[in-house]
Amino acid sequence: MVDDRPCLIPEFGRYGRGAAAVRYRLCVQIDEAALQSIISPAGEDYPGEAWVNIIEVDWDPEVAAAQREYEKIEGIRSGLDPGFFDDEVEVFPEIDGCPDEDVGWMRVPHQDLVPEFYSSMMEFNAFKQYYVRPPDICRW
């Protein structure tokens, strides 16, 4: 049975250690914009900037907010000034209705998806480490 409560321990993620494999944590999405970045209307490959979307499957805006609060509390416990966390609240344009920096997915170059990107995501927190907010494309 899966415990549906969010886990606030970053090393374990939402579903615990059992879901640590990349294939269970991330999925590839090719929406219309990604498809158009890869193939021209004439069916030819574009030589330029082409991407696919990588989605973090257990991303949840409420869990992301709880994670930020957890990091703030841990920072204060370790001696950081509480004002450090409130100085600048960066506002981002909404993507899929989400104004946060982390929207749960990012764009990666399609030609480097396997094995380079897949291999780099084997570290459990790698998605967070390499995350780039769309419409920018992740470079690792």
Question: What's the predicted TM-score (pTM) here?
Answer: 0.69
**Model pLDDT for residues 100-140, shown as the tens digit of each residue:** 889 999 999 988 888 888 889 988 788 989 999 999 999 87
Please indicate, yes or no, whether residues 21 and 86 belong to a single structural domain of this protein: no
Q: Give me the domain span that covers residue 52.
A: 17-58+104-132
Please indicate, yes or no, whether residues 45 and 75 belong to a single structural domain of this protein: no
The strand pairing partners of 98, in sequence order, are 95
Please indicate, yes or no, whether residues 50 and 80 belong to a single structural domain of this protein: no
Please indicate, yes or no, whether residues 52 and 115 belong to a single structural domain of this protein: yes
Please indicate, yes or no, whether residues 40 and 73 belong to a single structural domain of this protein: no
Residue 53 lies in a domain: yes
Please indicate, yes or no, whether residues 51 and 29 belong to a single structural domain of this protein: yes
Please indicate, yes or no, whether residues 53 and 75 belong to a single structural domain of this protein: no
**Model pLDDT for residues 18-48, shown as the tens digit of each residue:** 456 888 889 999 999 999 888 877 766 666 6
Quick one: DSSP state of residue 14? T
- Helix (H) or strand (E) run with residue 52 in it: strand 51-56
